[in-house]
Chains A and B, each alone.
Chain A
Amino acid sequence: METTVQRPREQVIRMYAPRAAIYPRDVKGRYASLRWLCVWLTQLAFYGLPWLRWHGRQAVLFDLAERKFYLFGLVLWPQDFIYLAALLIICALGLFLVTAVAGRVWCGYACPQTVYSEMFLWLERRIEGPRSTRMRRDRQPHSAGTLARKAAKHGAWLLLAGWTGLSFVGYFTPVDRLLAGAAALQLGPWQTFWVGFYALATYGNAGWLREQVCKYMCPYARFQSAMFDPDSLIVSYDARRGEPRGAPGKAPAAGDCIDCSLCVQVCPVGIDIRGGLQYECIGCAACVDACNGVMDKLARPRGLVRYATERGLAGRWSTRRMAARILRPRVLIYGAVLAASVLAMALALALRTPLKLDVVRDRGAMGRSVGDGLVENVYRLQIMNTAEHGHTFQVSVTGLAGASVEGGADLVVAGASGRTVAVRVRAPRAAAAPGSHPIRLQLTARDDAALQVAERAAFFIPR
């Protein structure tokens, strides 16, 4: 009987595909250790900072209700938001620089998504077993033991996520009181919301979504490719050395790649690096560690998969020659702009005066005549003493002949607080023509002449 293969004339394809499960294999090696070091450093900082004390208060506290932002010796007010903008610019430039030099190493080592995924994966391995065990158990009908393990895993994840949420909110509300409130189940509605929100975001992102965040949600991942050039370090497979693939010993002409697929098994985003640079690659070098381990066993040189630049790989450059290409215009410009930004911000922070003054001129009452041929204008001064101890201030005026200030002496303003004072500036009517005249109101601390701030204002002389 003759059989004919009937080829389909058409096919229905899906525009939305189910997610393929990824079971990243545990990997050990130089870069995995480096990543764990980053996990420890970033998380020691994140979980630890809220607990540090500084002169009797929490060292790092962003008090939204009081609108005071404490950073060790620094107290920032909402008016200082320019520093946050500068910090974000510095972070962005830092990302540009690092990406131009070494590709997506931020993604692979320090990004919270990677760091928390690493921690959650560690818990998963401890509870559900290694990759092969997890895959086998997931294929089979779930036994009671598997279900119990899964429940334990999610419990552990939720505990870690809950602690993360508490630590996060601990930056915005005193952490000791927050913890006491949480223990007594007496958190405020917004505290509860944000602890829960951050905890569930951590649980969802690091437990469930993982590489989906990097592939479909993260905007930085997409625009980082704009900073790549042929001299950026990328995780590369040396195809000339590796191909043709094959089991060792079977074919004498085979390349170094034995097609063991370990590099694919360890990949947290589920790609095969031997296909070349792919947009999913987060530069974590898990495949480098895996392949180096195999090469060590085979007594072949390491580096079949390695960090290399596109140009370096093509020209078989030495590391030194690739490193020499770091000093190229793109990197130098990023570096120069970054250095300038850091310097500007450091200078601005170091030279800032912990004192602010806003002058609000009375609008309803323009200028009024008082005795002796004097004209008087009223100003409301908003004095913000952003230092942590109180001062006594004095107001003086310059810019108009014979002008003096009434009610501007001995203004006591407590530390880290503000005060509104109405002061009157008087000047002889003959001092200037009728109309508006620029003056400067200066606020000086009586105990520290260097602590002063001046603000422009207008003095009005009526006809």
Chain B
Amino acid sequence: MSDFTSGFWDWYIAVICVLGIAACALLLWSQSTITVKADAGGELPATTGHVWDEDLTELNTPMPRWWMWLFYLTIVFAVAYLLLYPGLGSYAGRFGWRSALAYEQEVSQAKRDYGPVFAAYAGQPIETVAADPQARLVGERLFLNTCAQCHAADARGNKGFPDLSDDDWLHGGAPAAIEATILHGRHGQMPPMAAAVGSDRDVENLAHYVRSLSGLPSDPLKAAQGKPKFAVCAGCHGAGGQGNQAIGAPNLTDQVWLYGGDLATIMETINKGRNNTMPAFGEILGAQKVHVLAAYVYGLSHPAPGGRR
């Protein structure tokens, strides 16, 4: 409402409203009877006395009176409405109704309705919630609403967005780690390593070595030449390339690639680095919903015995 800094428009609307209602009442009252005049010969016409286009006249076929009362009723309704609800300029109405207030009431009602459902799950360990079919349905809804945009409806991710169903984890797959990821988000960062590795040829050799770590086809000679260069990677990815979940460094030996495992992509990753963010959903969803959601994600790679997936 910052466009309206003066009270002028409030009054403008209020006055138009009141005048409009009064004019309706006046029109209704003044038109409920009309006076017809006798003609020159003293005869009263059988019509309403209106004449159009020289000779068109209007027979008097009155509407039923209850119809007129309906009109008056609309005026009563308008006055009552404007007294009780906002509408007359800035007057708030006797009920103090506001759309924002109505929204808040609906939200708090929904929280009262559904709060107990989530509260019940909040007290259970994530493994138990993950095995509960009802909780899985709730979690699936939350996932489709909140997570599927990036991780896809089947949770198998996409380039840059991890697959959540393969039990291969960047930041840890323990229930508590998953919950922490959703609550607080994650920030995965790999610095550009081109300068540290050396020439373009060194980068290519290193990429061949990285591919050889997971048994992908690679040039043995180049891989052997690249192996010493891996020393600059080992700080995060470990000497054997097994990664480090504490800092989100991926395991390079398992053929799971966040950005792609072909030679060109690996070289691009080494040269330019990677920067990736998973937003924090703790504030958006609240801890109790995150708990159910974490259980759903955990259940994707830990199907309950006999459960349908």
Contacts and interface: CB of A to CB of B under 8 A. Distances in A.
B64 A216 contact: yes
Nearest to B60: A13
9 contacts: A12-B35, A15-B48, A16-B65, A17-B65, A18-B65, A378-B154, A422-B152, A422-B153, A424-B156
Interface in B97-115: none
A200 B114 CA distance: 37
A216 B63 CA distance: 8
Contacts of B36: 10-11, 13
Given A14-B33, A365-B150, 14 more contacts: A10-B35, A11-B36, A13-B60, A15-B31, A15-B33, A15-B60, A16-B63, A17-B63, A362-B153, A365-B161, A366-B158, A368-B158, A422-B152, A422-B154
Interface string A196-227: 00000000000000001000100000000000
Question: Looking at chain B's contact residues, is the secondary structure mostly helix, strand, loop, or mixed?
Answer: mixed
B34 A12 contact: yes
B148 interface: yes
A369 B154 contact: no
Nearest to A209: B66
A10 B38 contact: yes
Question: Number of contact residues on A: which range applies?
Answer: 20 to 34
A181 interface: no
B198 interface: no
Nearest to A364: B149
B38 A364 contact: no
A368 B33 contact: no
Given A7-B38, A8-B44, A16 B68 contact: yes
A147 to B, nearest CB: 23
A137 B23 CA distance: 43
B272 interface: no
B86 interface: no
Contacts of B65: 16-19
Interface in A2-34: 7-19
Interface of A: 7-19, 212, 216, 360, 362-366, 368-369, 371, 376, 378-380, 407, 422-424
Contacts of B148: 362, 364
B35 A365 contact: no
Interface in B32-56: 32-38, 42, 44, 48
B113 to A, nearest CB: 16
Contact of B159 (A7, A15, A216, A368): A368
Contacts of A19: 64-66
Nearest to A410: B308
Contacts of A424: 154, 156
Contact of B152 (A212, A369, A378, A407): A378
The CB with the most chain B CB atoms within 10 A, among A15, A216, A380, A423, is that of A15
A393 to B, nearest CB: 14
Contact of B62 (A9, A15, A376, A407): A15
A376 B154 CA distance: 11
Interface string B21-35: 000000000011111
Please give me the 7 A-B residue pairs with the lowest Cβ-Cβ distance, nearest first: A365-B158, A364-B149, A17-B62, A422-B154, A365-B152, A16-B68, A422-B153
Contacts of B33: 12-15
Interface in B107-132: none
B25 to A, nearest CB: 15
Nearest to A9: B38
A7 B42 contact: yes
A424 B158 CA distance: 13
B260 interface: yes
Interface residues of B, number: 34
B175 interface: no
A181 B165 CA distance: 49
B67 interface: yes
A216 B67 contact: yes
A369 B151 CA distance: 14
A13 B34 contact: yes
B157 interface: yes
A369 B36 CA distance: 88
A55 B268 CA distance: 66
Contacts of B149: 363-364
A422 B153 CA distance: 6
Contacts of A371: 255
Interface string B150-186: 1111101111010000000000000000000000000
Contacts of B255: 371
Given A16-B63, A17-B64, A365-B161, A407 B37 contact: no
Contacts of A15: 31-34, 48, 60, 62-63
Interface string B185-217: 000000000000000000000000000000000
A380 B145 CA distance: 13
Contacts of A364: 148-150, 152, 158
B279 to A, nearest CB: 13
B38 A8 contact: yes
Nearest to B153: A422
A274 to B, nearest CB: 19
A342 to B, nearest CB: 39
A217 to B, nearest CB: 9
A156 to B, nearest CB: 24
A295 to B, nearest CB: 33
Contacts of A407: 154
A16 B28 CA distance: 10
A212 B150 contact: no
B165 to A, nearest CB: 10
A166 B150 CA distance: 51
Nearest to B262: A369
A369 B34 contact: no
B62 A369 contact: no
B99 to A, nearest CB: 23
A369 B159 contact: yes
Interface string B225-267: 0000000000000000000000000000001000010000000
A365 B157 contact: yes
A365 B151 CA distance: 7
A216 B66 CA distance: 11
Contacts of A366: 158
A24 B156 CA distance: 76
